[in-house]
Structure formats: structure tokens, C-alpha cells
Amino acid sequence: MINQRIVDSSSKVQLADNRVCFNTGRVENGQGEQRLEPLPLAFLDYLISRTGEVVSRQELLEHVWCNRQVTDDAIRRVVKKVRVALGDDAKEPKFIKTIPLQGYQFVGDATVLCEQPAQHARKIGGWWVVFCFVLAAVMSAALFVLNSEEPEYFGAVITPLTEISGSEMGGEYNAQTDTLVFMYRGSNREPFSLYAKDLSRDLLYRLSGDDGAYHTISMSPDGSKVLYQRNKGEGYQVYIADYENGTLRRQRRLDISQTKLALQGWSADGKEILYHAYVAGENAHHKASSKAIFSYNLESNTSRQITFPLSKGRGDVLARQSADGQYLAVVRNQQLRQYRLLVFAQHDGKLLHETLLGFEASNLVWSQEQPNSLLLSSFKGQLARFDVNSGTLTVSEHITPGLNDVFGECGKDCLLMRRHGMNYRDIVSMPNPFVTLPSPPAKLKIASEEVEWSPIYSHDGSAIFYLSRDKKYSYLYRLVYEGLNAGEKTLLHRFDTLDAINGLQASSNGSYLLGRREERLFMYDIINQQFRWLTGDDEQIVYANWSADSDYIYFSRVEQHSYRLLRYSLATGLTERIQDNTLARIEDELGRVFILRDDFWLMQQQAGGSERALVQLPRLPELTVIARNNTLYWADKQSLTVHLNQLDLLTMERRSFALSRNEWTFNFDLHPKLASVIYSKELLAASDLVKVAGRE
């Protein structure tokens, strides 16, 4: 019987050779017994009740996720758990079929067994359809047969395009001239320079010859001009030059009024360039801002805004116009970790498609092999294709760490990408630049090919906790040390290597660690060596903090495009709602309370409920704010350098210290006695640009 919800908690449902008990969560079949969590059970229950119908994402959010705002990744993880338990195959489904851009459909037969005589058993009707899910050529089997030992090769032939020792990034391929342009630096102590490679003649050219810092390079569609940004200490300015046989001629600066902009490339006819820049908005308290896409006309030297994002995130972060000029594709950061792909008709600006992405796209490029389709990729190695005609987003199920940022195609089943050595950082400490001590602490350095970010001190400063990563896993370690002498290193927990582990914090009593895996909150009991999830994988959690006494955990959850501050009690295990439109609550040892609002203004709560505005912090998905000893600490980027900032809460005097140059590290921690600062220092991102071709 279609549309009959399984409401009897004692019911057992027969799905082919699977017997599912909705009371206990047990799934029994010929392979043994498994248990499903309540959320996957609720998903399966609802899908069966709608047998034969396509259940949309919005319906799932309403009936299964209780109107919480969750990512497509969170939904897919639940679907995967159900499929694994039932022995279902996404490519040839017996039970759950994915309908691209629409939702999910239960296509099997289910019989509800009511623990009654057999003649009273009910049949839930269903019908079978053959699943046909054709991957685009770029995601063919040759490219995504993952080798568990050496995932970067995954059944493909990888050929370096440039073979320079150092770091190559920001690649762009011009098919008209068969030329590759990119940025390069030989060490972390030097800024990026600009290079070009004539692939047809195998000739490499250095385009920039001065000591300026360069960022972003893009070649016009006909290959006659090059667009780039240069910084000599006063911010990045936009330049254009004629390109002739590996040389930049007649270089001139473009008069663009917006500051802190980022180039996005050329229009299809080469008469305009695209860039994004911040635009101001208004909320109830303070000015907020997000990025919008602008077009600059090279003939009239005028700019116009062409997208108008309304978001709590960074706004429009990527934009590319199709080669025929029909479409404009935009990646929009809707909120901290939510990204959407938007495709507009170029002639009238009409929005044709809006699709939620399950990952943060770092590159966007129009396909040269498949008309009206886009390639999207991430730094983690995720890869997807979007077809404009059908509105279908096809995301690869396999991800290859170290191989990322697709920037072009070189034929059927052939991609141009960046290959990263995955040796990212060292952990270093330095004396606190804002305090004077009679005996400064010794400097610490942990050099390893596996070190990741987010190192923190233990509650008493006798150890550090840090993360490392290889091609299989991310590891959470504790390292005991005294001065320069490192002691025992203990592995506390292991995560999948693709999981971003952020926001590590030690409780003030030394008993627990707090952190987030992607958007899911976890706690580690240091004394009993026990790991525990505090939120489900369907929730988007940001900016978690301990209370000053370590009795509570404050964290913000995304609900219906808003941030709601919640408080979790360690004593009762209960969570309560505290405040809306709030990202974080920070408490210091003196009992003061600071609130980080969703416009990134940091406020101090005053007696009587009023608030004092302190500082507007950078709009970052990961942000460290420490309140201690009448001062506030945070990090931001000023020109080319990351600065550590201190704000005196009594005098409101602000001081800054240059922490690291040519880097993007904003996470740090302070020693409990404020003696030193620990952070992860970026290493040279050893990488090269490569051709990735499927085997014959």
C-alpha cells in the first residue's frame, strides 16, 4: 500500500533478504546484523511510505530533518548508511534510486511484518525501474578507479606540464594558442611570479621580472593579452598587457575604483573583464558586506555590478563566462560552509539554474569537450560536472587528495589539474610579542611531512595537541614537551583524510578536547580516552567554545539560513537555545562575555543587557578569538602579511604584530600563562601543473 507510513514501532519490514526492525534499528540479512541510527531509520521509513514517488530534498528537510538547514553532503551520508546496511548499490539500486536534481525514490518491494499470523501481513506496493546513471566523460571509470595505496594515480596517466621545482598554482589554459599561464614561487620567502608555457613548442617563459608580488593571471580568449594583479606593498592593483612570444608589452594599470578585488577572467568577446569585490549592505545593527561580481569595460573604462548576492557568507567567490557568451556561471558562498552554483543567461541576466554544492569549489571552468557544461573542483580533490541543458550536477563519488583544482581539458577523459605534495606545514611557537618576560620561553618547532593546522596548548601548557594528515587519514595527537625536549607522542583519534578538523580547544580543567569535523561537533575525553559526537552529521555547526568553567559548550547551528547560538551541558547532556543571529560566545576568566554576531562584529555584553562594539573581525570560516587578562587576541591579513592583533579592553588600544608573510594561516593559540604563541607555519606548497589522462 503506497503512502502508508510505518508507525508501529514493533513492526519489522522485509526488504528482499533484509529484515529491518524500526524499534531496535537492527538490519538482518545473510551477511549478519547491523544497526542503523535513528536518522537513517527515519529516512528509510519516510521513503518507504512514499514508495514509487520522487521525494524532494525540501520534503526530506521537512519530514525527516525537522526543518533544519543541512547540506547535500549530510543527506548523502545518511543515504549511504542506508544503502550500506541494505547492501544496495547506487549504480544498480534495488531500493533507493537517486533522481538527479529532484530527490530520491524507493523502488523496491517492502512487506511489513506485524508480528501477527502470516495472513495478516501487509504488502507495501512498489515497482522496479532500471537505474541508468551515466557519468560524464571526465568522470569515466578510468579516472576514478581509486588505488588504496597510491590514490593520486587512480588508474590514470599523470604527466607534468612544467616540471619546475617549487610551487605552481593558478593555472589557466588557452586552447586558442595552446598556452598555459600560471603563478610560481621557489620558496615561501618569496612572492609569486608569472609564467607562461607554450605547450605546442615546449617553451617556458617568465613574464614578470621585478620583485613585486603577483596574484592571478588570465589570458584573453584570442591569446593577445594578459590580465594580472600586482602588489608592491600597497594592495593588489589590476594590470593588462599585450602578450607577444612570451613577453608582456605595453603594461598598464586599469583604473578600477573597488579595492580588495579578485580577478575572475575575461568576457567571451575579450572586451570586458570580470572581478569580484565587496559591496556594502545593511542589517539591524552594523554594516555588513559580501562579494558581488562586477564587469569592467576595457573601452569605456567603467565598471558595473552584475550579481547581487543576499547572503550571510562571503557572497560570489567564483565567476566564469562561457566561451560562446551565452551563460555566466557563479559560485556563491551562501553562509559559512554552504556553496551554490548559479547559472545566468547572459543576454537578460535571468537565473536559469541554482544548485547546492556539497563542497567548497576552488576552481570553475567551462568545458572545451562538452558544450554547455562546467567543471568544478575543490582543493581536497572533489570533482563535479554541471550540464546546463539538463540542469544535472554529477559529483564524483571518489576523491583523490593531492590532485585538485581542475583548470582545463586536453581531450576526452583528459584534464589539466594541479598536483600537490601534501606537505603543508610545520608547527612553531614564538614568545608572545605583546608581553615582556624576564626569561622568554624556548622556541618550539615540529617539522613533519604530516603536520596539519590548529595546534593548541594543553590547559597547563605542558603538552600540545595537533593534527596531521596523510593520504588515508587525519590524526589527532598529543605531544608532551618541556622546553625544546619533545616527549611522548600519543595518537588520540583517527579521521578520514578528507575530513577538515577545525576549532580544537582544550577545556580549562584539562579533561576534554573540543573540535569539529567539517560541520559536526565532537568531544574527546582525555582521561578516559573516549571519543564522542555531540551533534549529528545532519547539522551545520560553527564556532564552538568552552565556557570559562568548562561546564558548558557554546556553539552555533545553521537553521533556516540563520545562526542560532546553543548551549550544551556536560552534566545533563541537554542542549538549549541561547541567542539568534550569533556565531560564537566567548567567556574569559574574569566572567566577561563576548558575542560574535553573524556580521562578524565582536560585542562585549554589559550590565543591564546592553552591548559594547569592540571590533569587526575578518569574515573567515575559521577564526580564533581569545579573551584573557583584559585583552583580546585574533589574527587577520594586512596586505601580504598575517598579523596577530591585541586589543586592550581597558584602554581600547590596538596593537599588531607581523606573524608570517605570504601565508594564509589565521589559527593560533596562546600559552596559558600568555608566554608564547603557537601556530602552524606554511611550508612551500610543493606542487606542479599536470595532465591527467585516462588509460587506453
* Helix, strand, or coil (residue 79): helix
Q: Of the segments 342-346, 367-371, 609-613, which one has the largest average pLDDT value?
A: 342-346
Least Cα distance to 407 among 204, 179, 247, 245 occurs for: 179
Residues 123 and 14: their CA atoms lie apart, in Å, by 10
Beta strands in 50-199 (DSSP E): 54-56, 96-99, 103-106, 110-113, 122-124, 156-160, 167-174, 179-185, 193-198
Which residues neighbour 53 within 8 Å (Cβ) at sequence distance 6 or greater?
Answer: 2, 3, 105
The band of 441, judged by pLDDT with boundaries at 50, 70 and 90, is low
What is the residue-averaged pLDDT of the chain?
81
Residue 286 in this model has a pLDDT that exceeds 60: no
Q: How much is the pLDDT for 124? A: 32
- CATH code for the domain defined by 425-682: 2.120.10.30
Per-residue pLDDT averaged across 373-392, rounded?
Answer: 89
Q: What percent of the chain has pLDDT over 90?
A: 36
Q: How much is the pLDDT for 428? A: 82
The band of 116, judged by pLDDT with boundaries at 50, 70 and 90, is very low
Summarised one tens digit per residue, pLDDT across range 59-77 is: 887 788 766 666 677 788 8
Per-residue pLDDT averaged across 611-616, rounded?
Answer: 93
Q: How much is the pLDDT for 434? A: 92
The band of 41, judged by pLDDT with boundaries at 50, 70 and 90, is confident
Measured CA to CA in angstroms, residue 411 lies from 137, 199, 367, 369, 692 at distances of 10, 14, 10, 7, 10
Kindly state the cell numbers that stand for 27.
Answer: 538490519
Q: Burial code of 296-334, b = ≥16 C-beta within 10 A, e = fewer? A: bebeeeebeebbebebbbbbbbbbbbbeeebbbbbbbbb
Instruction: Considering only residues 540 and 599, tell me which one the structure prediction assigns the higher pLDDT.
Output: 599
Q: Count how many Cα atoms sit within 13 Å of the Cα of residue 387 in the half-sphere of its side chain.
A: 15
The band of 8, judged by pLDDT with boundaries at 50, 70 and 90, is very low
Summarised one tens digit per residue, pLDDT across range 458-483 is: 999 889 998 887 766 788 889 887 65
Q: How much is the pLDDT for 62? A: 76
Amino acid at 216: T
The band of 387, judged by pLDDT with boundaries at 50, 70 and 90, is very high
- Domain spans of the chain? 12-124, 425-682
Q: How much is the pLDDT for 138? A: 30
The band of 498, judged by pLDDT with boundaries at 50, 70 and 90, is low
CATH topology of domain 12-124: Arc Repressor Mutant, subunit A (1.10.10)
Q: Dihedral (C-alpha) 371, 373, 377, 382: value to the nearest 10 degrees?
A: -110
Among 91-105, 121-135, 136-150, 605-619, the least confident range: 121-135
Among 111-125, 279-293, 500-514, 680-694, the least confident range: 111-125
Residue 176 in this model has a pLDDT that exceeds 70: yes
Per-residue pLDDT averaged across 408-415, rounded?
Answer: 86
Per-residue pLDDT averaged across 137-143, rounded?
Answer: 30
Percentages (nearest 5) of helix, strand, coil residues in the chain: 5, 50, 45
Q: Burial code of 523-536, b = ≥16 C-beta within 10 A, e = fewer? A: bbebeeeeeeebbb
Beta strands in 114-207 (DSSP E): 122-124, 156-160, 167-174, 179-185, 193-198, 203-206
Among 88-97, 520-529, 661-670, the least confident range: 661-670
Residues 108 and 436: their CA atoms lie apart, in Å, by 71
Q: How much is the pLDDT for 274? A: 96
